[in-house]
């Protein structure tokens, strides 16, 4: 390979894929050196013309990962006009996938980056929910997008995880009469706090089942109606102090409760 060969990488996104492929191909030629010049975020024909004007002065190759049809056609046309070799990395793969799946690609630039960003946002939210589950660390209250409060077995943890998969950072705080609610809770924007309550008899069933699964007697105070009603009364007092939205989860699936919370968050903050 001549020392003056320049590979121009054009992309309507960041161009990482094109550059990696170009480097991988160029590495197969041991003689000489090469230079790669990456031009990301190509959005109009004028940019393309400027690149070809530069490329015509050198021994050059054009490599492009452009999915916007208008720009792709323009690059191919200019490559013929300037007699510069041009390699379209995306079209053969897109055409093959289209043949198999039977419908056309979206042809939107930067989709893989957006998918990656969404994935890592979800992972971060899930890790947050685990770290700040069940009031383990009250510092999470200040950082959370959503705070869930309620007595034991009101679906705080599964709801936290479901909302985390919707990219919300959620901390949940158990309310127990013998344990004062954390001060941080009363400093939080009440529009981000949601109180969960349930029918005491429904909670009684759930708690008895929980005790059985742990091999414990279902006659424990934890599952008694009197104890549950005492806890619910205390939790309602805290929720009233917080002036937060209260949701009865007695007959609601986690998805249904999450949907209510998400709708309220969108209304309050325009968040998705």
Feature table: binding site for ADP: 150-157
SS3 115: helix
Binding residues: 150-157
CA distances from 42 to 11, 13, 52, 108, 148 (A): 6, 7, 13, 13, 45
SS3 70: helix
Q: What is the C-alpha to C-alpha distance for residues 68 and 157, in angstroms, rounded to an integer?
A: 44
Query: Which residue's entry shows tokens 């208008």?
Result: 70
Q: Do 223 and 177 form a contact (C-beta atoms < 8 A)?
A: no
Q: What is the C-alpha to C-alpha distance for residues 239 and 248, in angstroms, rounded to an integer?
A: 13
Helix (H) or strand (E) holding 150: strand 146-150
């Amino acid at each position: 390979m001549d020392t003056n060969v320049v590979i121009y990488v054009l992309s309507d996104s960041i161009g990482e894929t094109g550059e990696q492929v170009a480097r991988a191909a160029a590495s197969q030629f041991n003689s000489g050196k090469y230079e790669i010049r990456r031009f990301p975020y190509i959005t109009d024909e004028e940019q393309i013309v400027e690149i070809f004007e530069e490329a015509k002065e050198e021994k050059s190759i054009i490599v492009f990962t452009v999915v916007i049809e208008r720009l792709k056609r323009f690059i191919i046309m200019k490559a013929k006009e300037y007699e510069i070799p041009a390699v379209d990395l995306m079209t053969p793969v897109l055409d093959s996938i289209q043949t198999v799946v039977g419908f056309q690609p979206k042809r939107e630039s930067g989709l893989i980056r957006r998918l990656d960003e969404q994935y890592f946002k979800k992972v971060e939210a899930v890790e947050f929910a685990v770290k700040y589950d069940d009031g383990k660390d009250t510092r999470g209250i200040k950082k959370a997008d959503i705070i869930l409060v309620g007595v034991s077995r009101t679906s705080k943890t599964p709801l936290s995880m479901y909302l985390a998969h919707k990219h919300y950072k959620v901390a949940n705080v158990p309310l127990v009469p013998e344990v004062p609610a954390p001060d941080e809770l009363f400093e939080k924007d009440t529009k981000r706090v949601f109180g969960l309550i349930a029918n005491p008899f429904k909670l009684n069933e759930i708690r008895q089942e929980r005790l059985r699964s742990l091999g414990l007697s279902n006659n424990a105070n934890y599952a008694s109606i009197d104890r549950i009603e005492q806890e619910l009364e205390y939790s309602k007092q805290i929720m009233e102090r917080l002036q937060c939205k209260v949701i009865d989860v007695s007959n609601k699936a986690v998805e249904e409760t999450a949907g209510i919370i998400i709708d309220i968050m969108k209304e309050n903050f325009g968040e998705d």
